[in-house]
Structure 1
Amino acid sequence: MSNKQQENPLSNIMWNVLIPVVALSFLSKGDNDPLTQASGEKLWHIGPMWGMILAVSLPLVYGIHHLIKTKKPNFFSILGVISILLTGGIAIMAFRDNGSVDEQAPFWFALKEAAIPLVFGVTILLSHWTKTPLVRVFLYNPDFFNIPAIEKRVQENSMTEKYKKLIFSGTLLLSGSFFLSMIMNYFLAIYLLVGNTDSQAQFNEAVGKLTGWGFAVIGVPMLVILMITMWRFVSGLRNLTGMDNEEILLPR
């Protein structure tokens, strides 16, 4: 029996999307001293600084906990933790003493939002020429595909070169989805953050919108692209091997 620790996708969404959105949108009002309550403030108004710290620290703790639990830290999970730290670091550095936010902060955020998928895409593309192409982790995974049977049939049919081209095309499509995410991340950040630097609470609320809308506007198209890429990959394997879907894919 496999003892792999699988990440619960609902927990991932809750800790990395819902909780930060709530903290940034509803807790960031008031001044930065949560021990004092000015007129009109609610008990949960802890201020922009502490709202941002809370929005960043909880996903950070969750990410570190998951790394420790799985005992398999990798480049991408570590990059995710770094991204969370950069979010909080850039915001807090951009906060000014007068309660406003540096006008350049939206551009710093946009560059950060674009840099993460860029690194993913470049790493996936370059990994094709290594011993462990990352397309075999994200797409052509031995947990889903009956790779030994597929490769045996490929050799029997003398389709090795076309098989390699199919894997490379999967790499291109997968890395391309991250490059598309890079572009969408940048312009979504610019659209939501520019003009929202008059106050720290306003900026935090915009970052919260960026977190929520980024998941929907960028995550859903990437999922669709991944599904199309998977369909194309399985179809290509059928043509190369003559196997049907039940033979290509492992039973779940």
Structure 2
Amino acid sequence: MTDPEIQSPPTHKPRPWVDLLVSIIIPSVILMKLSGDEYLGSVMALVIGLAFPLGWGLFELVRYRKYNFIAVLGIVSVGLTGGIGLMELDAGWLAIKEAAVPAVIGIAVLVSTRTRYPLVRTLLYNPSVLNVDKIQAVLKENGSEEEFEARLLKASYFFSLTFLFSSIMNFVLAKWIVTSPSGTQAFNEELGRMTLVSYPMIAIPSMIMMIAIFYYLWRSIRRLTGYTLEDVMAPHLAAQHDNKSSDTSTGNGS
């Protein structure tokens, strides 16, 4: 008998609209609109509402086998929120939890700069986004490796600041919006409102900061190597870009 073929995990494709729907919109609607006794009740609404982001996060981890620190911490965060509501703890614990999760990530980013595997490399400067081997070869040839490492370290500091911003804003929003005792219908409604408000007030600004950090990193690569973005895109992204360009030119020519 031969050993069964070991299949590699499927390639993860970002689905921001699905993430937004499952992690924010559906839970918020359930918590805000179905927490009354005439519907699901406060406990069941909390359980079902938080089951969506928790289940989706677990599915992503199992399906794509990406057991990274931030993804696991996100699942723990949802579990803690449910625990605070179900155990009817003081609502102040929610603000502490909301601030603690991004704070832990920010500290982890800083600590990782002293290791061989800085988190900024994992999230921004990695082979799934950029052709790292090609970039490193030119940096070595030009004697620019140390300068690039210094810029990468600076990007890590900027990266940790985005989580500091998120930590502060999470605490402020939680203290401002969630004021009712946990385990009540009002608590669920406020939790759903906080989830919705956090997207434009925290998630989008943090995303803009991330894009700015990537742009800084990209400008550093361009300055030190002379490559354009198309030159250093990861091979699979470059192939997709070429296919889209080819389809566009074919469509214009027809």
Q: Decide whether the 8 Å contact of 2:84 with 2:182 is kept in 1.
A: no
- CA drift at 1:188: 0.8
SS of residue matched to 1:129:
coil
Match of 2:163 among 160, 164, 178: 178
Aligned partner letter, 1:148: D
Aligned partner letter, 2:107: V
Q: What is the CA deviation profile of residues 67-103 of structure 1, one whole-angstrom value per residue up to 9, with x for unaligned ones?
A: 2111232222211111111011001212xxxxxxx6x
Match of 1:56 among 21, 35, 50: 50
1:135 maps to 2:120: yes
Q: Decide whether the 8 Å contact of 1:28 with 1:47 is kept in 2.
A: yes
In the TM superposition, what are the counterparts of 1:75-114 in structure 2 within 5 Å? 75-94=69-88, 104-105=90-91, 107-114=92-99
Change (3 A) 1:165 1:199: closer
Q: Tell me how far apart the structure 2 counterparts of residues 58 and 158 of structure 1 sit (CA, whole Å).
A: 50
- CA drift at 1:248: 2.9
Match of 2:193 among 209, 212, 218: 209
Q: Normalized against structure 1, the TM-score is what?
A: 0.85
Q: Decide whether the 8 Å contact of 1:22 with 1:208 is kept in 2.
A: yes
Aligned partner letter, 2:186: Q
Aligned partner letter, 2:21: M
Q: Decide whether the 8 Å contact of 2:85 with 2:183 is kept in 1.
A: no
- CA drift at 1:27: 0.6
Q: Decide whether the 8 Å contact of 2:54 with 2:79 is kept in 1.
A: yes
Q: Tell me how far apart the structure 2 counterparts of residues 212 and 132 of structure 1 sit (CA, whole Å).
A: 34
- The answer for the alignment partner of 2:129 in structure 1 is 144
Match of 1:225 among 180, 191, 209: 209
Q: Tell me how far apart the structure 2 counterparts of residues 248 and 171 of structure 1 sit (CA, whole Å).
A: 21
SS of residue matched to 1:63:
helix
Change (3 A) 1:150 1:199: closer
- CA drift at 1:131: 2.0
In the TM superposition, what are the counterparts of 1:188-199 in structure 2 within 5 Å? 188-194=173-179, 196-197=180-181
Q: Decide whether the 8 Å contact of 1:234 with 1:248 is kept in 2.
A: no
- The answer for the alignment partner of 1:23 in structure 2 is 30
Structure 2: 5+ residue runs without aligned partners? 1-7, 242-254
SS of residue matched to 1:72:
coil
- CA drift at 1:51: 0.8
- CA drift at 1:6: 2.7
Change (3 A) 1:17 1:156: same
- The answer for the alignment partner of 1:243 in structure 2 is 227
- CA drift at 1:151: 1.2
Q: Decide whether the 8 Å contact of 1:136 with 1:142 is kept in 2.
A: no
Report the identity percentage. 31
- The answer for the alignment partner of 1:155 in structure 2 is 140
Q: What is the CA deviation profile of residues 3-44 of structure 1, one whole-angstrom value per residue up to 9, with x for unaligned ones?
A: 4233522221111111110110011012xxxxxxxxxx4xxx
Higher mean Cα deviation, 141-150 or 2-11? 2-11
Q: Tell me how far apart the structure 1 counterparts of residues 150 and 22 of structure 2 sit (CA, whole Å).
A: 39
Aligned partner letter, 2:73: L
Report the count of equivalent residues. Answer: 229
CA-atom RMSD in angstroms: 1.9
Match of 2:12 among 5, 19, 40: 5
- CA drift at 1:148: 1.4
Q: Tell me how far apart the structure 1 counterparts of residues 155 and 143 of structure 2 sit (CA, whole Å).
A: 20
Change (3 A) 1:3 1:92: closer
